[in-house]
């Protein structure tokens, strides 16, 4: 967990700011959106004028969250921000290009995250590598800012925690995580809306995409994978920005000890979603390929075409399976 001192330093940094820029990662998930919007509301409660930004649109699943409509796709210096906050991301590239190198040294950079692969790239880093969600770092931070976590803020943090734990099902789900969820509900977080909107409800085209991905599913000795070509996206009208959660889908295959989806992008790259069951640690493989993530859920982008990406990555995962358990932390 992060230290009290770090929490207070971060709270002081936010209190000093008049107009902080909060950045969520590309292909935004519930944790990056929920944690960002919770912080936005806390800052507004303190009379600040935060800006929230993400290079990609906010998926339908998270548009019910208060403030989701305030996201912007672009920002520049003329927006008058005086602090940059990177939320739920392990390196600067995960701002998706929103952060410009020329900002370094001009605006303080605060990082709030929970990835073991975090590069501590901020001027101040609030990183809890074993926390199940960034939301669980955000909760004590908001409290340290002197704002009460309740109602809309609680709904944002609740959604973030429920999505990053796939409904309290991941191995990162501890008793403390369950207690946090109870706390958010006690304080007015809207549990049933969060569960339906963010976890269960899928757009029709995502269901159709799952059909395609399941049809293309392959398995071999504990390794399960699928490929999703651009041609199939065209057919269903799916954009590259959409997170189809193919990794989460195929990780449910009983035989899978390691699962990976290869999602072909229109720029020729291939987005990988890696999932594993303990003791296999896929974060190391993702990091070696220029990405990052958690032991049991990680991702990265590699060069295409699809077949080349598959031929390059499967041997790395076969080796991981052969080696068995990786080093414990
Ligand atoms: P997903 O497979 O659902 O896209 O991502 C699984 C986990 O890996 C998430 O925690 C996500 O933040 C992280 N992740 C996914 N893609 C990348 C990437 O390209 N770079 C980094 N650093 N992390 C990633
Ligand atoms: Mn997260």
Q: Mean pLDDT for each consecutive 10-residue tract of the chain (329 residues)?
A: 94 98 97 99 98 97 98 97 98 97 96 96 96 98 98 99 97 97 98 98 96 98 97 96 94 97 98 97 96 96 97 98 67
Task: Spell out the domains of the chain, with CATH numbers in brackets.
Answer: 4-200 (3.90.1640.10), 204-323 (3.10.310.30)
Q: How far is the CA of 251 from the centre of ligand 1 (A)?
A: 15
Q: How far is the CA of 283 from the centre of ligand 1 (A)?
A: 9
CB of 96 closer than 6 angstroms to any ligand 1 atom: no
What pLDDT was estimated at residue 147?
Answer: 98
Three-state DSSP state, 240: coil
Closest to 172 (Cα-Cα) out of 126, 144, 198, 135: 135
Distance (Å, rounded) from C-alpha 233 to C-alpha 304? 16
What pLDDT was estimated at residue 329?
Answer: 40
CB of 28 closer than 6 angstroms to any ligand 1 atom: no
For the CA of 117, the closest atom of ligand 1 is 22
For the CA of 27, the closest atom of ligand 1 is 4
Three-state DSSP state, 58: coil
Given a contact cutoff of 8 angstroms between Cβ atoms, the answer to whether 295 and 276 are in contact is yes
CB of 295 closer than 6 angstroms to any ligand 1 atom: no
CB of 91 closer than 6 angstroms to any ligand 1 atom: yes
What pLDDT was estimated at residue 325?
Answer: 58
What pLDDT was estimated at residue 328?
Answer: 43
> Could you tell me where the DSSP H helices lie in the chain?
4-16, 30-45, 135-144, 152-164, 175-186, 191-194, 204-215, 230-236, 246-250, 283-288, 306-323
Six token digits for residue 214: 């399941």
Ligand nearest to the CA of 132: 2
Q: How far is the CA of 235 from the centre of ligand 2 (A)?
A: 31
Given a contact cutoff of 8 angstroms between Cβ atoms, the answer to whether 285 and 274 are in contact is yes
Residue nearest to atom 14 of ligand 1 (CA): 299
Q: How far is the CA of 201 from the centre of ligand 2 (A)?
A: 20
Residue nearest to atom 11 of ligand 1 (CA): 293
Distance (Å, rounded) from C-alpha 317 to C-alpha 297? 14
Closest to 36 (Cα-Cα) out of 125, 113, 150, 151: 113
Integer-rounded Cα Rg, in Å, for the chain is 19
How far CA 167 is from CA of 14, 89, 163, 224, in Å, comes to 31, 21, 6, 22
The backbone region for 189, taken as left when phi is positive above 0, alpha when psi lies in -120 to 50, beta otherwise, is: beta
């Amino acid at each position: 967990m992060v230290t009290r001192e770090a929490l207070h330093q971060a709270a002081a940094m936010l209190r000093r700011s008049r107009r902080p820029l909060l950045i969520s990662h590309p292909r935004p998930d519930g944790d990056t959106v929920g944690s960002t919007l919770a912080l936005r509301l806390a800052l507004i409660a303190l009379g600040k004028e935060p800006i929230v930004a993400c290079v990609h649109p906010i998926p339908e699943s998270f548009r019910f969250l208060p403030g989701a409509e305030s996201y912007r796709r672009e920002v520049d210096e003329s927006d008058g921000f005086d602090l940059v906050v990177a939320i739920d991301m392990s390196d600067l590239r995960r701002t998706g290009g929103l952060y410009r190198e020329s900002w370094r040294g001009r605006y303080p950079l605060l990082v709030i995250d929970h990835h073991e692969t975090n590069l501590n790239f901020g001027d101040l880093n609030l990183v809890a590598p074993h926390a199940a969600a960034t939301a669980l770092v955000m909760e004590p931070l908001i409290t340290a800012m002197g704002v009460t976590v309740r109602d809309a803020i609680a709904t944002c943090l609740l959604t973030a925690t429920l999505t990053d734990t796939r409904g309290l099902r991941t191995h990162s789900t501890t008793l403390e995580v369950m207690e946090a969820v109870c706390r958010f509900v006690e304080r007015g977080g809207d549990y049933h809306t969060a569960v339906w909107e963010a976890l269960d409800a899928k757009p029709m085209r995502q269901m159709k995409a799952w059909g395609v991905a399941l049809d293309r599913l392959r398995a071999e000795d504990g390794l399960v994978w699928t490929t999703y070509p651009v041609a199939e996206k065209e057919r269903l009208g799916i954009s590259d920005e959409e997170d189809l959660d193919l990794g989460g889908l195929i990780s449910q295959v009983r035989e899978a000890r390691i699962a990976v989806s290869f999602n072909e992008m229109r720029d020729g790259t291939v987005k990988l979603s890696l999932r594993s069951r303990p003791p296999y640690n896929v974060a190391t493989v993702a990091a070696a390929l220029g990405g990052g993530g958690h032991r049991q859920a990680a991702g990265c982008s590699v060069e295409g075409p699809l077949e080349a990406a598959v031929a390059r990555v499967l041997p790395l995962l076969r080796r991981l399976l052969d080696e068995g358990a990786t080093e414990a932390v």
